[in-house]
Structure 1
Amino acid sequence: MNKVERLLDAAGRTYAAEAGIKLKDTPSALYQLLVVSVLMSAPIQASIAAAAAKELIKAGMGTPRKMAEASWQDRVDALGRGHYVRYDESTATALGDGARLILDRYSGDLRKLRDQANGDQAKLRELLREVPRLGPVGVDIFCREAQQVWPGLRPYLDDKTLKGAEAAGLPKDTRKLAGLVREDDLARFAAALVRVGRDRKLAGQLG
Protein backbone atom coordinates (compact mmCIF):
# COMPACT_ATOMS: atom_id res chain seq x y z
CA MET A 1 0.00 0.00 0.00
CA ASN A 2 1.57 3.31 -1.07
CA LYS A 3 1.29 6.62 0.77
CA VAL A 4 -1.79 7.82 -1.14
CA GLU A 5 -3.59 4.54 -0.53
CA ARG A 6 -2.71 4.73 3.19
CA LEU A 7 -4.00 8.31 3.29
CA LEU A 8 -7.31 7.38 1.67
CA ASP A 9 -7.66 4.39 3.97
CA ALA A 10 -6.94 6.40 7.13
CA ALA A 11 -8.73 9.69 6.40
CA GLY A 12 -10.62 9.49 3.10
CA ARG A 13 -14.10 9.98 4.49
CA THR A 14 -16.01 12.95 3.16
CA TYR A 15 -17.96 15.25 5.45
CA ALA A 16 -21.11 14.25 3.58
CA ALA A 17 -20.46 10.61 4.45
CA GLU A 18 -19.79 11.60 8.06
CA ALA A 19 -23.24 13.21 8.11
CA GLY A 20 -24.81 10.05 6.70
CA ILE A 21 -25.43 11.53 3.23
CA LYS A 22 -25.17 9.27 0.21
CA LEU A 23 -24.06 11.90 -2.24
CA LYS A 24 -25.73 11.73 -5.65
CA ASP A 25 -26.46 14.26 -8.36
CA THR A 26 -30.00 14.73 -7.06
CA PRO A 27 -31.69 17.80 -5.55
CA SER A 28 -32.09 16.35 -2.06
CA ALA A 29 -28.56 14.95 -1.72
CA LEU A 30 -26.97 18.16 -3.03
CA TYR A 31 -29.09 20.24 -0.67
CA GLN A 32 -28.03 18.08 2.26
CA LEU A 33 -24.39 18.66 1.30
CA LEU A 34 -25.15 22.38 1.24
CA VAL A 35 -26.56 22.17 4.77
CA VAL A 36 -23.38 20.46 5.98
CA SER A 37 -21.33 23.17 4.28
CA VAL A 38 -23.38 25.96 5.90
CA LEU A 39 -22.96 24.38 9.33
CA MET A 40 -19.21 23.99 8.79
CA SER A 41 -18.87 27.65 7.81
CA ALA A 42 -19.02 28.52 11.51
CA PRO A 43 -15.91 28.12 13.69
CA ILE A 44 -17.05 24.82 15.14
CA GLN A 45 -15.74 21.25 15.15
CA ALA A 46 -16.45 19.41 11.91
CA SER A 47 -17.76 16.39 13.83
CA ILE A 48 -20.35 18.55 15.60
CA ALA A 49 -21.45 20.16 12.34
CA ALA A 50 -21.80 16.73 10.73
CA ALA A 51 -23.80 15.45 13.71
CA ALA A 52 -26.09 18.49 13.55
CA ALA A 53 -26.67 18.00 9.81
CA LYS A 54 -27.55 14.37 10.49
CA GLU A 55 -30.11 15.47 13.10
CA LEU A 56 -31.70 17.98 10.73
CA ILE A 57 -32.02 15.34 8.02
CA LYS A 58 -33.32 12.76 10.50
CA ALA A 59 -35.97 15.27 11.58
CA GLY A 60 -37.21 15.49 7.99
CA MET A 61 -35.45 18.69 6.93
CA GLY A 62 -33.46 17.12 4.11
CA THR A 63 -34.96 19.17 1.28
CA PRO A 64 -35.28 22.95 0.83
CA ARG A 65 -39.06 22.73 0.99
CA LYS A 66 -39.10 20.73 4.21
CA MET A 67 -36.46 23.01 5.74
CA ALA A 68 -38.48 26.09 4.81
CA GLU A 69 -41.72 24.57 6.13
CA ALA A 70 -40.17 23.53 9.45
CA SER A 71 -40.55 25.94 12.32
CA TRP A 72 -37.61 27.92 13.58
CA GLN A 73 -37.87 26.02 16.86
CA ASP A 74 -37.78 22.67 15.05
CA ARG A 75 -34.49 23.71 13.47
CA VAL A 76 -33.08 24.95 16.78
CA ASP A 77 -34.07 21.70 18.49
CA ALA A 78 -32.44 19.53 15.80
CA LEU A 79 -29.24 21.59 15.95
CA GLY A 80 -29.27 21.23 19.73
CA ARG A 81 -29.53 17.45 19.50
CA GLY A 82 -26.37 17.57 17.39
CA HIS A 83 -24.72 19.76 20.10
CA TYR A 84 -24.53 22.67 17.67
CA VAL A 85 -25.48 25.00 20.48
CA ARG A 86 -23.36 28.14 20.26
CA TYR A 87 -24.72 29.19 16.87
CA ASP A 88 -28.04 27.35 16.93
CA GLU A 89 -30.49 30.27 16.89
CA SER A 90 -28.83 32.36 14.18
CA THR A 91 -28.10 29.26 12.10
CA ALA A 92 -31.72 28.12 12.36
CA THR A 93 -32.74 31.45 10.85
CA ALA A 94 -30.07 31.24 8.13
CA LEU A 95 -31.13 27.71 7.16
CA GLY A 96 -34.72 28.83 6.73
CA ASP A 97 -33.70 31.87 4.68
CA GLY A 98 -31.33 29.77 2.57
CA ALA A 99 -33.97 27.13 1.85
CA ARG A 100 -36.37 29.82 0.63
CA LEU A 101 -33.67 31.35 -1.57
CA ILE A 102 -32.95 27.98 -3.20
CA LEU A 103 -36.66 27.37 -3.74
CA ASP A 104 -37.24 30.82 -5.22
CA ARG A 105 -34.17 31.00 -7.49
CA TYR A 106 -33.52 27.38 -8.38
CA SER A 107 -36.82 25.60 -7.72
CA GLY A 108 -35.07 23.67 -4.94
CA ASP A 109 -32.50 22.15 -7.32
CA LEU A 110 -28.84 23.15 -6.96
CA ARG A 111 -28.10 21.65 -10.38
CA LYS A 112 -29.77 24.78 -11.76
CA LEU A 113 -27.26 26.89 -9.82
CA ARG A 114 -24.46 24.82 -11.38
CA ASP A 115 -25.96 25.28 -14.84
CA GLN A 116 -26.26 29.02 -14.30
CA ALA A 117 -22.51 29.15 -13.59
CA ASN A 118 -22.00 27.50 -16.99
CA GLY A 119 -18.68 25.88 -16.13
CA ASP A 120 -17.21 29.04 -14.58
CA GLN A 121 -15.83 28.01 -11.19
CA ALA A 122 -15.56 31.60 -9.95
CA LYS A 123 -19.20 32.22 -10.90
CA LEU A 124 -20.26 29.03 -9.15
CA ARG A 125 -18.52 30.16 -5.97
CA GLU A 126 -20.12 33.61 -6.29
CA LEU A 127 -23.61 32.09 -6.57
CA LEU A 128 -23.00 29.79 -3.62
CA ARG A 129 -21.87 32.75 -1.49
CA GLU A 130 -25.39 34.18 -1.86
CA VAL A 131 -26.67 31.39 0.40
CA PRO A 132 -27.03 32.83 3.92
CA ARG A 133 -24.22 31.84 6.29
CA LEU A 134 -22.26 29.99 3.59
CA GLY A 135 -18.81 31.54 3.88
CA PRO A 136 -15.63 30.89 1.87
CA VAL A 137 -14.80 27.84 4.02
CA GLY A 138 -18.24 26.37 3.40
CA VAL A 139 -18.05 27.07 -0.33
CA ASP A 140 -14.75 25.18 -0.51
CA ILE A 141 -16.25 22.25 1.42
CA PHE A 142 -19.24 22.13 -0.91
CA CYS A 143 -17.09 22.24 -4.04
CA ARG A 144 -14.53 19.73 -2.77
CA GLU A 145 -17.29 17.22 -2.11
CA ALA A 146 -19.61 18.07 -5.01
CA GLN A 147 -16.80 17.19 -7.43
CA GLN A 148 -17.69 13.58 -6.62
CA VAL A 149 -20.89 14.00 -8.67
CA TRP A 150 -20.09 17.14 -10.68
CA PRO A 151 -17.17 16.17 -12.98
CA GLY A 152 -16.96 19.74 -14.28
CA LEU A 153 -15.55 20.83 -10.91
CA ARG A 154 -12.62 18.42 -11.03
CA PRO A 155 -10.02 18.78 -9.81
CA TYR A 156 -11.13 20.99 -6.91
CA LEU A 157 -8.13 21.12 -4.61
CA ASP A 158 -8.13 24.33 -2.61
CA ASP A 159 -5.51 25.87 -0.30
CA LYS A 160 -6.42 23.56 2.60
CA THR A 161 -5.88 20.48 0.47
CA LEU A 162 -2.55 21.81 -0.81
CA LYS A 163 -1.46 22.47 2.78
CA GLY A 164 -2.34 18.85 3.57
CA ALA A 165 -0.38 17.66 0.55
CA GLU A 166 2.68 19.49 1.82
CA ALA A 167 2.27 17.94 5.28
CA ALA A 168 1.99 14.50 3.69
CA GLY A 169 5.03 15.00 1.48
CA LEU A 170 2.97 14.98 -1.72
CA PRO A 171 3.17 17.38 -4.70
CA LYS A 172 1.68 20.83 -4.15
CA ASP A 173 0.94 21.23 -7.85
CA THR A 174 -2.81 20.76 -8.36
CA ARG A 175 -2.55 18.74 -11.57
CA LYS A 176 0.19 16.45 -10.27
CA LEU A 177 -1.72 15.94 -7.04
CA ALA A 178 -4.95 15.14 -8.86
CA GLY A 179 -3.10 12.64 -11.01
CA LEU A 180 -2.29 10.51 -7.96
CA VAL A 181 -5.87 9.20 -7.67
CA ARG A 182 -8.74 8.17 -9.89
CA GLU A 183 -11.10 11.03 -10.74
CA ASP A 184 -13.94 9.48 -8.78
CA ASP A 185 -11.71 9.41 -5.67
CA LEU A 186 -10.90 13.13 -5.77
CA ALA A 187 -13.54 14.13 -3.20
CA ARG A 188 -12.27 11.52 -0.74
CA PHE A 189 -8.68 12.49 -1.48
CA ALA A 190 -9.43 16.17 -0.85
CA ALA A 191 -11.13 15.33 2.47
CA ALA A 192 -8.15 13.21 3.51
CA LEU A 193 -5.69 15.97 2.62
CA VAL A 194 -7.63 18.50 4.69
CA ARG A 195 -7.54 16.14 7.65
CA VAL A 196 -3.83 15.42 7.35
CA GLY A 197 -3.17 19.15 7.14
CA ARG A 198 -4.77 19.55 10.55
CA ASP A 199 -3.28 16.45 12.20
CA ARG A 200 0.51 16.20 12.48
CA LYS A 201 0.21 12.78 14.07
CA LEU A 202 -1.68 11.49 11.04
CA ALA A 203 0.89 13.00 8.72
CA GLY A 204 3.66 11.24 10.63
CA GLN A 205 1.90 7.88 10.35
CA LEU A 206 1.95 8.03 6.56
CA GLY A 207 5.72 7.64 6.46
Structure 2
Amino acid sequence: MKKSLYFLFILALFCLTGCKDALVPKPIKLTCNINTFDAPISCISRSTADADKLYIGQEDGCIIEKVNNNCQTYSINSNRRIYDILEYSEDSLFVGTRDAGLKLLAKSSQQTQTYYIKNKRMNYSVYSMTLDDDKQCLYVGTSNGLFRLNLKDGSTSHELTPIQLGKCSKNCGVNKVVIKEKDYMWLVNRGCSLSVILKRILNDLL
Protein backbone atom coordinates (compact mmCIF):
# COMPACT_ATOMS: atom_id res chain seq x y z
CA MET A 1 0.00 0.00 0.00
CA LYS A 2 2.79 2.40 0.91
CA LYS A 3 4.53 1.62 -2.36
CA SER A 4 1.33 2.39 -4.29
CA LEU A 5 0.89 5.73 -2.51
CA TYR A 6 4.53 6.58 -3.09
CA PHE A 7 4.17 5.72 -6.78
CA LEU A 8 1.04 7.89 -7.10
CA PHE A 9 2.81 10.78 -5.35
CA ILE A 10 5.78 10.56 -7.74
CA LEU A 11 3.43 10.36 -10.74
CA ALA A 12 1.44 13.41 -9.59
CA LEU A 13 4.64 15.37 -8.97
CA PHE A 14 5.91 14.45 -12.43
CA CYS A 15 2.63 15.57 -14.04
CA LEU A 16 2.63 18.89 -12.17
CA THR A 17 6.24 19.56 -13.16
CA GLY A 18 5.46 18.72 -16.79
CA CYS A 19 2.44 21.04 -16.85
CA LYS A 20 4.46 23.86 -15.33
CA ASP A 21 7.16 23.46 -17.98
CA ALA A 22 4.52 23.42 -20.71
CA LEU A 23 3.13 26.76 -19.51
CA VAL A 24 6.51 28.48 -19.67
CA PRO A 25 6.86 30.07 -23.13
CA LYS A 26 9.95 29.01 -24.98
CA PRO A 27 12.07 31.75 -26.52
CA ILE A 28 11.85 32.10 -30.30
CA LYS A 29 15.17 31.77 -32.08
CA LEU A 30 15.60 33.73 -35.30
CA THR A 31 18.44 33.82 -37.76
CA CYS A 32 19.73 37.24 -38.75
CA ASN A 33 21.50 38.19 -41.96
CA ILE A 34 22.84 41.74 -42.11
CA ASN A 35 22.95 43.46 -45.49
CA THR A 36 24.75 46.76 -45.97
CA PHE A 37 24.28 49.24 -48.79
CA ASP A 38 25.97 52.40 -50.04
CA ALA A 39 23.31 54.73 -48.60
CA PRO A 40 20.92 54.71 -45.62
CA ILE A 41 17.64 52.82 -46.11
CA SER A 42 14.48 54.95 -45.96
CA CYS A 43 11.77 52.39 -46.85
CA ILE A 44 11.15 48.78 -47.77
CA SER A 45 8.25 47.04 -49.55
CA ARG A 46 7.46 43.57 -50.84
CA SER A 47 6.48 42.54 -54.34
CA THR A 48 2.83 41.61 -54.76
CA ALA A 49 3.73 38.92 -57.30
CA ASP A 50 6.82 37.38 -55.69
CA ALA A 51 6.98 37.02 -51.91
CA ASP A 52 10.77 36.60 -52.07
CA LYS A 53 11.28 39.94 -53.82
CA LEU A 54 11.90 43.10 -51.81
CA TYR A 55 12.22 46.69 -52.93
CA ILE A 56 14.52 48.79 -50.75
CA GLY A 57 14.38 52.57 -51.06
CA GLN A 58 17.41 54.62 -50.11
CA GLU A 59 18.02 58.22 -49.12
CA ASP A 60 20.11 58.86 -52.24
CA GLY A 61 17.24 58.09 -54.64
CA CYS A 62 18.29 54.54 -55.52
CA ILE A 63 16.10 51.43 -55.35
CA ILE A 64 17.51 47.98 -54.59
CA GLU A 65 15.52 45.03 -55.93
CA LYS A 66 16.50 42.09 -53.72
CA VAL A 67 15.54 38.48 -54.48
CA ASN A 68 17.14 36.17 -51.94
CA ASN A 69 20.86 37.07 -52.22
CA ASN A 70 20.65 38.73 -55.64
CA CYS A 71 20.42 42.51 -55.89
CA GLN A 72 19.65 44.86 -58.78
CA THR A 73 19.96 48.65 -58.46
CA TYR A 74 17.67 51.19 -60.14
CA SER A 75 17.81 54.97 -60.10
CA ILE A 76 14.98 57.50 -60.31
CA ASN A 77 17.43 60.07 -61.71
CA SER A 78 17.19 62.13 -58.55
CA ASN A 79 19.03 62.19 -55.25
CA ARG A 80 15.79 62.66 -53.30
CA ARG A 81 14.93 60.34 -50.42
CA ILE A 82 12.47 57.58 -51.27
CA TYR A 83 9.54 57.31 -48.85
CA ASP A 84 7.48 54.53 -50.45
CA ILE A 85 7.60 51.99 -53.30
CA LEU A 86 4.63 50.22 -54.85
CA GLU A 87 4.89 47.55 -57.54
CA TYR A 88 2.44 48.38 -60.35
CA SER A 89 3.49 45.74 -62.88
CA GLU A 90 6.39 43.38 -63.50
CA ASP A 91 8.36 46.19 -65.11
CA SER A 92 7.07 49.32 -63.35
CA LEU A 93 7.15 50.81 -59.87
CA PHE A 94 5.38 53.80 -58.39
CA VAL A 95 7.90 55.68 -56.25
CA GLY A 96 7.11 58.27 -53.59
CA THR A 97 9.88 60.80 -53.01
CA ARG A 98 10.75 63.65 -50.72
CA ASP A 99 10.10 67.07 -52.33
CA ALA A 100 10.10 65.58 -55.85
CA GLY A 101 6.61 64.12 -56.08
CA LEU A 102 5.28 60.84 -57.42
CA LYS A 103 7.24 58.97 -60.07
CA LEU A 104 6.61 55.90 -62.22
CA LEU A 105 9.81 53.98 -62.91
CA ALA A 106 10.14 51.61 -65.87
CA LYS A 107 12.74 49.10 -64.68
CA SER A 108 13.82 47.85 -68.10
CA SER A 109 14.63 51.31 -69.49
CA GLN A 110 15.17 53.07 -66.12
CA GLN A 111 13.04 55.95 -67.44
CA THR A 112 10.75 57.85 -65.08
CA GLN A 113 7.44 59.68 -65.45
CA THR A 114 6.66 62.37 -62.87
CA TYR A 115 3.17 63.38 -61.71
CA TYR A 116 2.37 66.86 -60.51
CA ILE A 117 -0.04 68.69 -58.20
CA LYS A 118 -1.79 71.83 -59.38
CA ASN A 119 -0.02 74.98 -58.14
CA LYS A 120 2.74 72.84 -56.60
CA ARG A 121 4.12 71.13 -59.69
CA MET A 122 6.58 68.49 -58.43
CA ASN A 123 7.36 70.33 -55.20
CA TYR A 124 5.62 67.96 -52.79
CA SER A 125 6.41 64.76 -50.88
CA VAL A 126 4.72 61.38 -51.23
CA TYR A 127 4.58 59.40 -47.98
CA SER A 128 2.28 56.49 -48.80
CA MET A 129 0.45 54.85 -51.73
CA THR A 130 -2.12 52.12 -52.24
CA LEU A 131 -3.85 50.68 -55.29
CA ASP A 132 -7.52 49.89 -55.63
CA ASP A 133 -8.28 46.18 -55.90
CA ASP A 134 -8.71 46.35 -59.68
CA LYS A 135 -5.68 48.64 -60.12
CA GLN A 136 -7.88 51.33 -61.65
CA CYS A 137 -6.99 54.02 -59.13
CA LEU A 138 -3.91 54.92 -57.11
CA TYR A 139 -4.48 56.72 -53.79
CA VAL A 140 -1.55 58.88 -52.73
CA GLY A 141 -0.85 60.29 -49.27
CA THR A 142 1.22 63.46 -49.62
CA SER A 143 2.50 66.46 -47.72
CA ASN A 144 -0.49 68.36 -49.17
CA GLY A 145 -3.24 65.86 -48.38
CA LEU A 146 -4.87 62.89 -50.08
CA PHE A 147 -4.81 62.61 -53.88
CA ARG A 148 -5.77 60.06 -56.50
CA LEU A 149 -4.40 59.09 -59.90
CA ASN A 150 -6.80 57.62 -62.45
CA LEU A 151 -5.26 54.56 -64.09
CA LYS A 152 -8.41 53.40 -65.86
CA ASP A 153 -8.23 52.65 -69.59
CA GLY A 154 -4.59 53.70 -69.83
CA SER A 155 -5.20 57.28 -68.71
CA THR A 156 -2.37 59.58 -69.78
CA SER A 157 -3.06 62.33 -67.24
CA HIS A 158 0.00 63.38 -65.26
CA GLU A 159 -1.90 65.46 -62.71
CA LEU A 160 -2.99 64.13 -59.33
CA THR A 161 -6.59 64.90 -58.35
CA PRO A 162 -7.12 66.21 -54.78
CA ILE A 163 -9.64 64.55 -52.46
CA GLN A 164 -11.16 66.91 -49.90
CA LEU A 165 -12.31 65.04 -46.81
CA GLY A 166 -13.72 67.96 -44.85
CA LYS A 167 -12.89 71.50 -43.83
CA CYS A 168 -9.97 70.41 -41.66
CA SER A 169 -8.37 68.23 -44.32
CA LYS A 170 -7.15 71.01 -46.59
CA ASN A 171 -3.38 70.82 -47.02
CA CYS A 172 -3.15 68.35 -44.13
CA GLY A 173 -0.35 65.87 -44.76
CA VAL A 174 -1.34 62.20 -45.00
CA ASN A 175 1.38 59.86 -43.76
CA LYS A 176 -0.30 56.50 -44.42
CA VAL A 177 -3.06 55.21 -46.71
CA VAL A 178 -4.42 51.66 -46.38
CA ILE A 179 -7.42 50.06 -48.10
CA LYS A 180 -9.07 47.50 -45.83
CA GLU A 181 -11.48 44.78 -46.95
CA LYS A 182 -12.39 46.60 -50.20
CA ASP A 183 -14.92 48.88 -48.46
CA TYR A 184 -12.83 50.98 -46.11
CA MET A 185 -9.85 53.28 -46.35
CA TRP A 186 -7.67 54.14 -43.37
CA LEU A 187 -5.77 57.42 -43.26
CA VAL A 188 -3.17 58.64 -40.78
CA ASN A 189 -2.42 62.34 -40.97
CA ARG A 190 0.42 64.42 -39.63
CA GLY A 191 -1.51 65.20 -36.47
CA CYS A 192 -1.40 61.47 -35.61
CA SER A 193 -5.16 61.12 -36.02
CA LEU A 194 -6.70 58.06 -37.68
CA SER A 195 -9.57 58.43 -40.14
CA VAL A 196 -11.76 55.60 -41.41
CA ILE A 197 -13.62 56.31 -44.64
CA LEU A 198 -16.24 54.26 -46.44
CA LYS A 199 -15.05 54.02 -50.02
CA ARG A 200 -18.56 54.45 -51.42
CA ILE A 201 -18.68 57.84 -49.66
CA LEU A 202 -15.21 58.61 -50.98
CA ASN A 203 -16.36 57.85 -54.53
CA ASP A 204 -19.23 60.32 -54.10
CA LEU A 205 -16.70 63.03 -53.27
CA LEU A 206 -14.77 62.56 -56.51
Larger helix proportion of the pair: 1
Q: Which has the larger radius of gyration?
A: 2
Larger RCO: Structure 1 or Structure 2 (Cα < 8 Å, ≥ 6 residues apart)?
1
